[in-house]
Structure 1
Amino acid sequence: MTETEDIANSTYDVVVLGAGPVGENVADRTRAAGLTTAVVESELIGGECSYWACIPSKALLRPAIAQAEARRLPGLSASVQGPLDAAAVLARRDYWASDWKDDGQVGWLESIGAEIHRGHGRLSGERTVTVTAPDGTRKVLTARHAVAVCTGTRAVLPDLPGLEEVRPWTSREATSAKAAPGRLVVVGGGVVATEMATAWQALGSRVTLLVRGKGLLNRMEPFAGELVAEALTEAGVDVRTGTSVESVTRENGTVVVVTGTGDRIEADEILFATGRAPHTDDIGLDTVGRKPGSWLEVDDSLRVTGSDWLYAVGDVNHRALLTHQGKYQARIAGAAIAARASGAPVQSDPWSAHGATADHDAVPQVVFTDPEAAAVGLSLAEAEQAGHRVRAVDYDLGSVSGAGLYGDGYRGRARMVVDLEREILLGVTFVGPGVGELIHSATIAVAGQVPISRLWHAVPAFPTISEVWLRLLEAYRDN
């Protein structure tokens, strides 16, 4: 057998391209429906989230946040004034990233009866995927019912001359680095940029954050970015908004950044957190009439527009670039694939078993900075742009008893966006320490379209930060 000779064609009901959390969940649902399922992966089973994103980043951030919160408590603050033990934090990060070994994830996929094919998978025609293994051998997988593309996204680097020679960090290097750089420049103002600035500043780096726009976290309510920027500055991060990068070089091991205002900044490393692109450039989209490197447009059952067999689940469809939302889509897609395979009707009504309605109306997100920023649904600006007649109700989180008990000097803010015609919530935003644990209650209110008259009877326990719900409702009633 030669290196390029095809071995026997294998046929499955479903072929899943990509074994991150999204692909794993598609496989779980199709296997639960009794469909034979193959999963193709060229890197580690478990994907970006498990090894270079959600899991390692939160492992880096948790000690930083815990220390910041402890410093706000008399009786404890004096005990936590020293620096973090960076080596211990990184060791715990390594544990949570499974030391970049995927044995556990492999075992789980095998336990549900999915068959794993290691190698680079490319579409090679309708319902067909060709897998090139690391040793160069190829196998052709044919799907009776569906191929699900779950290949996620990759970091985008700006078009700057000589950038490759600088060896910049992307999110992968930022979450897997073995030591804290003495000086770190972070370029960007979104989630990755703010979280990594938080983590590495706490681990001992001197961080400069360069933001092209006017502020941070521009997909959230404006006050979220303002409060996070204020806290980052107080923590020692040099936050510079309205600042572009004109050139980057590495001179004798030192990164030299020249900004649009002519400032020269020297650092040991530079992280570009400037966006994501679909990981679809080399998966054979051209063989099925699609443009390589493109986002894949889908309907609410996650089936690619114009196809009756191709699905795109998770980041690749650009609906919501979040792991939890991709896993939600995977459950929807798996149910829809199973229904179509059995000849059962596919439900198309909003909030049905086969439609990813939450992608439009109830997407939650938490940014694990200090303070945390958490939001679900529409911001005020988004609701107004969509033509809703709305009212924003704001409340100072620091004046809630539970927040004051949580930590001295608690600073935060809450907003609910009320649809005045139906008196339901279209969106909710919380900013403050510990608010990530509040956002699911808001998600239930938004996704469930719970009337405000009913929310009055959802009594928050005293004294918790959740008491802000009562205060928001009182503010809506009284004004």
Structure 2
Amino acid sequence: MTAAVEYDVVVLGAGPTGENVADRTRAAGLSTAVVESELVGGECSYWACIPSKAMLRPVIARSESRRVPGVRHAVQGPLDAAEVLAHRDEYVAHWKDDGQVGWLDSIGARLYRGHGRLHGHRKVVVEGPENEHHVLTARHAVAVCTGSRAVLPHLPGLAGARAWTSREATSARSVPGRLVVVGGGVVGSEMATAWQALGSRVTMLVRGKGLLPRLEPFVGEHVAEALTEAGATVRTNVSVAAVQRNGGGAPVTVVLEDGELIDADEVLFATGRAPRTEDIGLETVGLEPGSWLPVDDSCRVEGSEWLYAVGDVNRRALMTHQGKYQARIAGAAIAARAGHVPLLETDRWGAHSATADHDAVPQVVFTDPEAASVGLSLAEAEATGRRVRAVDYDLAAVAGAGLYADDYRGRARMVVDLDREIVLGATFVGPGVGELLHSATIAVAGEVPIDRLWHAVPAYPTISEVWLRLLETYRG
């Protein structure tokens, strides 16, 4: 059966980014179709942010409670892994998307299940699960919101080794006795934290000098130290040469470049991501299949008047909250260009210019301890050629930190533009620092002068008092 239908907007991908594009275009009165080949809600809802944080929250809560007088003796036992995993399953709705589908219905968007491909100018062809064939034409815009996928390296034996990627790591039904984690980025560090606490003996294998290399160097040092104290083995400057597994429930053997063998029950490769654009018809509009899609600050694909690429696929900032931010920008831009919302009305706040992707991207890494950053690191700021200075402070010296937990360990860094006297970036590592991040984001995104930050008084005794200490240190 073939059906041809016309909409104002067609959205490829119903993850958080695609959902938010649809929400904004529907709110502007534009008819909108959404195409999804898997679960409505996407990677974040079922295999990334939500399940991983559901697994990590008990880990972090127990760890912090063990450092609080009057509570520590009550939480010395192991985590109930079965209960943690069951709680995770509830949070991902047991991998059913009825609730998300209901939400799409509530905003008046039309859902097409199946594989969608571009088919030339403003057209999308959808092959449904029961051989339905839909041809969708977009009057104004097609938004590609297909996200990214985990990448496995080309290693001998890996194809048949049933290695975990981030999806298996966040959806596994039982705790592996021994887990090797290859990669020291966010996914590797978070999953090592979770599974070590749930009962695995974790070995991390990292090619570089340390964990979380995109953050300030001291962050990875704190996280590696904590993982080691928890019982994990963290090995840096090592490379994997091959993987071996002989069928059934056999253990897996990881072969290092020097010939050393490491046996485990499971191996997780957290070694990067690629755009999910390899089979969405990019070649029919003059673009390369499998490529990242360069866009302008409204998320419109360079050289196109109607094609948008929003979220991970444009490679500006591979985080759910940034994808949702871009979706709000793109939705406003599409509506304005369609004439449904006055351009000046929506743009007076920069409503269709995704400037935060350049200067103020916030990120929390939910390890134990947490890490949080926004804006530029010291190295990144120096690379721009500006006169900058890093101001560091020991978080343990803040009164609120000692009250938060005994033996509090952490560090804060503020990167200042010396000529403009504004904050270019801030990084924190320590228990509970994720809640410090939005104040830092406001300071960076708002380009708040240092002289004004003096008048943002932190409540006492909270960890937020570190802002006062950073400013005092800067002034000397």
Could you tell me how far 1:40 is from its partner in structure 2? 0.2
Mapped partners of 1:280, 1:22: distance in 2: 15
Q: Is the contact between residue 314 and residue 321 of structure 1 (CA under 8 Å) also seen in structure 2?
A: yes
Could you tell me how far 1:376 is from its partner in structure 2? 0.1
Mapped partners of 2:97, 2:398: distance in 1: 44
Question: Hey, what does 2:181 align to over in structure 1?
Answer: 186
Mapped partners of 1:350, 1:193: distance in 2: 41
Could you tell me how far 1:350 is from its partner in structure 2? 10
Could you tell me how far 1:337 is from its partner in structure 2? 0.3
Question: Hey, what does 2:276 align to over in structure 1?
Answer: 279
Deviation by residue 1:192-244 (Cα, 9 ceiling, x = unmatched):
00000000000000000000000111110000011111111111110000010
Question: Hey, what does 1:16 align to over in structure 2?
Answer: 11
Mapped partners of 1:136, 1:317: distance in 2: 31
Higher mean displacement: 89-98 or 243-252: 243-252
Give 1:354-393 correspondences, 5 Å limit: 354-393=352-391
Residues 437/231 of structure 1: CA separation in 2 closer, same or farther (3 Å cut): same
Question: Hey, what does 1:471 align to over in structure 2?
Answer: 469
Mapped partners of 2:434, 2:343: distance in 1: 38
Secondary structure of the equivalent of 1:165?
Answer: coil
Q: Note the aligned Cα RMSD (angstroms).
A: 1.3
Mapped partners of 2:348, 2:458: distance in 1: 29
Could you tell me how far 1:346 is from its partner in structure 2? 7.1
Could you tell me how far 1:261 is from its partner in structure 2? 2.8
Give 1:151-300 correspondences, 5 Å limit: 151-251=146-246, 253-300=250-297
Could you tell me how far 1:348 is from its partner in structure 2? 11
Q: Is the contact between residue 374 and residue 436 of structure 1 (CA under 8 Å) also seen in structure 2?
A: yes
Give 1:300-319 correspondences, 5 Å limit: 300-319=297-316
Q: Is the contact between residue 156 and residue 241 of structure 2 (CA under 8 Å) also seen in structure 1?
A: no
Q: Mind listing any 5+ residue stretches in structure 2 that lack a counterpart?
A: none
Could you tell me how far 1:347 is from its partner in structure 2? 9.3
Give 1:45-56 correspondences, 5 Å limit: 45-56=40-51
Mapped partners of 2:85, 2:149: distance in 1: 24
Question: Hey, what does 1:107 align to over in structure 2?
Answer: 102
Give 1:336-347 correspondences, 5 Å limit: 336-342=333-339, 344-345=342-343
Secondary structure of the equivalent of 1:186?
Answer: strand
Could you tell me how far 1:250 is from its partner in structure 2? 0.7
Q: Is the contact between residue 336 and residue 346 of structure 2 (CA under 8 Å) also seen in structure 1?
A: no
Question: Hey, what does 1:126 align to over in structure 2?
Answer: 121
Residues 334/362 of structure 1: CA separation in 2 closer, same or farther (3 Å cut): same
Mapped partners of 1:347, 1:432: distance in 2: 42
Question: Hey, what does 2:62 align to over in structure 1?
Answer: 67
Could you tell me how far 1:351 is from its partner in structure 2? 6.3
Mapped partners of 1:44, 1:53: distance in 2: 13
Mapped partners of 2:96, 2:347: distance in 1: 42
Deviation by residue 1:298-326 (Cα, 9 ceiling, x = unmatched):
00000000000000000000000000000
Deviation by residue 1:242-290 (Cα, 9 ceiling, x = unmatched):
0100110013611001112322110000000000000000000000000
Mapped partners of 2:395, 2:258: distance in 1: 37
Give 1:35-54 correspondences, 5 Å limit: 35-54=30-49
Mapped partners of 1:17, 1:278: distance in 2: 13
Could you tell me how far 1:345 is from its partner in structure 2? 3.9
Secondary structure of the equivalent of 1:410?
Answer: coil
Quick one: which of 449, 452, 455 aligns to 1:454?
452
Which 4+ stretches in 1 moved above 2 angstroms? 343-351
Secondary structure of the equivalent of 1:27?
Answer: helix
Mapped partners of 1:306, 1:101: distance in 2: 38
| TM score, norm. by length of structure 1 | 0.97
Mapped partners of 1:84, 1:24: distance in 2: 35
Mapped partners of 1:464, 1:262: distance in 2: 50
Q: Is the contact between residue 3 and residue 133 of structure 2 (CA under 8 Å) also seen in structure 1?
A: no
Question: Hey, what does 2:74 align to over in structure 1?
Answer: 79
Work out whether 1:421 is the aligned partner of 2:419: yes
Mapped partners of 1:263, 1:348: distance in 2: 60
Q: Is the contact between residue 67 and residue 405 of structure 2 (CA under 8 Å) also seen in structure 1?
A: yes
Mapped partners of 2:456, 2:385: distance in 1: 29
Residues 223/349 of structure 1: CA separation in 2 closer, same or farther (3 Å cut): farther
Mapped partners of 1:163, 1:383: distance in 2: 39
Mapped partners of 2:121, 2:76: distance in 1: 61
| TM score, norm. by length of structure 2 | 0.98
Quick one: which of 292, 317, 332 aligns to 1:320?
317
Could you tell me how far 1:163 is from its partner in structure 2? 1.1
Mapped partners of 2:302, 2:348: distance in 1: 18
Could you tell me how far 1:161 is from its partner in structure 2? 1.8
Q: Is the contact between residue 177 and residue 200 of structure 2 (CA under 8 Å) also seen in structure 1?
A: yes
Q: Is the contact between residue 332 and residue 346 of structure 2 (CA under 8 Å) also seen in structure 1?
A: no
Question: Hey, what does 2:328 align to over in structure 1?
Answer: 331
Q: Is the contact between residue 376 and residue 442 of structure 1 (CA under 8 Å) also seen in structure 2?
A: yes
Q: Is the contact between residue 248 and residue 255 of structure 1 (CA under 8 Å) also seen in structure 2?
A: yes
Mapped partners of 2:394, 2:267: distance in 1: 36
The percentage of counterpart residues that share the same residue type is: 76
Mapped partners of 2:139, 2:282: distance in 1: 19
